[in-house]
Amino acid sequence: MREIVFDTETTGLSAQRGDRLVEIGCVELFNRVETGQVFHAYFNPERAMPSEAQAIHGLSDTFLSDKPLFSDTVEALLDFIGDTPLIAHNAQFDFSFLNHELGQCGRAIILPDRMIDTLAMARAKHPGAKHSLDALCTRYGIDRSHRILHGALLDAQLLAQLYVELTGGRQIGLSLAAETPLPSAGSQLESSRVLAMGRPARAPRPHAASPEELARHAAFISRLKDPLWGQGSAIG
pLDDT at 169: 82
Residue 212 lies in a domain: no
The answer to the question of whether 94 is labelled as a binding residue is: no
Residue 177 lies in a domain: no
Is the per-residue pLDDT at 84 higher than 90? yes
Is the per-residue pLDDT at 132 higher than 50? yes
Helical ranges in the chain per DSSP H: 51-57, 61-64, 70-81, 91-104, 118-125, 133-139, 152-166, 188-196, 211-222, 228-235
Residue 44 lies in a domain: yes
DSSP 140-200: TT---TT-SS--HHHHHHHHHHHHHHHTT-TTTT---TTSPPPPPTT-HHHHHHHHHTT--
The answer to the question of whether 117 is labelled as a binding residue is: no
131: Cβ contacts below 8 Å, ≥ 6 apart? 119, 122, 123
Residue 229 lies in a domain: no
- Rounded Cα distance between 195 and 39, Å, is 47
The answer to the question of whether 61 is labelled as a binding residue is: no
Residue 202 lies in a domain: no
Task: Choose among 26, 7, 94, 22: nearest CA to 53.
Answer: 22
Mutual orientation of helices 91-104 and 70-81 as an angle, nearest 10°?
Answer: 120
Secondary element (H or E) of residue 27: strand 21-30
- Rounded Cα distance between 106 and 9, Å, is 21
Cα–Cα distances in angstroms (integers) from residue 155 to residues 89, 109, 111, 236, in the given order = 9, 23, 23, 80
Domain of residue 81 covers: 2-166
Number of domains in the chain: 1
Give the pLDDT confidence of 35-58 residue by residue, as tens digits. 999 999 999 999 999 999 999 999
Give the pLDDT confidence of 137-178 residue by residue, as tens digits. 999 999 999 888 899 999 999 999 999 999 998 654 444 443
- Rounded Cα distance between 3 and 159, Å, is 13
The one catalytic residue in 89, 100, 131, 150 is: 150
Q: What is the DSSP letter of 89?
A: T
- Rounded Cα distance between 78 and 23, Å, is 15
Residue 62 lies in a domain: yes
pLDDT at 47: 97
The predicted model gives 3-31 an average pLDDT of: 98
The predicted model gives 200-218 an average pLDDT of: 72
The answer to the question of whether 72 is labelled as a binding residue is: no
CATH number for position 117:
3.30.420.10
CB 217 within 8 A of CB 209: yes
Residue 150 known to be catalytic: yes
> What is residue 132's three-state secondary structure?
coil
- Rounded Cα distance between 210 and 117, Å, is 65
Residue 224 lies in a domain: no
pLDDT at 201: 59
The answer to the question of whether 52 is labelled as a binding residue is: yes
